[in-house]
């Protein structure tokens, strides 16, 4: 059996509206407090970023100490010579060679087979 309880609900809402909390609500932050908190977070983020950048620069400087220009040029020349050889072999196959990159795994056996 369905009963219409609208009157009971209205009365209950009136009573509930009279209730209050025993303790006061916590005070909200002021705009100045929010801005100060945001400024602090931004300053911390900036400090972390600057520390990471300083570490990266230190790492780059350390790697630069070990850089050998002559060795790098020799490696580049070796790769260029290898690419030139592969381009000559691949010329009849309609491929363009490695263009400064290592040949694909599929291209090497085919090129070696055509010798």
- What does the pLDDT profile of the chain (115 residues) look like in tens digits? 457 888 888 888 888 877 766 777 778 889 999 999 999 999 999 999 999 999 999 999 999 998 888 888 888 888 888 776 655 555 555 444 455 555 555 555 555 555 4
Token pair 């303790």 is found at: 23
Residue 107 is predicted with a pLDDT of 52
Radius of gyration of the chain (CA): 37
SS3 46: helix
CA angle at 104 for the pair 103 and 108, rounded to the nearest 5°: 70
Closest CA to 84 of 103, 74, 97, 102: 97
Alpha carbon 77 to its chain centroid, in Å, reads: 34
pTM of the model as a whole: 0.41
């Amino acid at each position: 059996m369905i009963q219409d309880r609208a009157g009971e609900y209205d009365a209950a809402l009136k009573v509930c509206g009279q209730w209050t909390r025993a303790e006061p609500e916590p005070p909200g932050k002021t705009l100045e407090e929010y801005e100060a908190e945001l400024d602090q977070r931004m300053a911390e983020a900036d400090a972390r970023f600057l520390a990471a950048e300083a570490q990266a620069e230190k790492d780059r400087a350390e790697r630069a100490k070990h850089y050998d220009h002559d060795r790098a040029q020799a490696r580049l020349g070796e790769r260029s010579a290898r690419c030139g050889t592969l381009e000559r072999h691949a010329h009849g196959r309609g491929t363009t060679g490695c263009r400064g990159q290592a040949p694909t795994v599929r291209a090497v056996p085919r090129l070696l087979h055509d010798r």
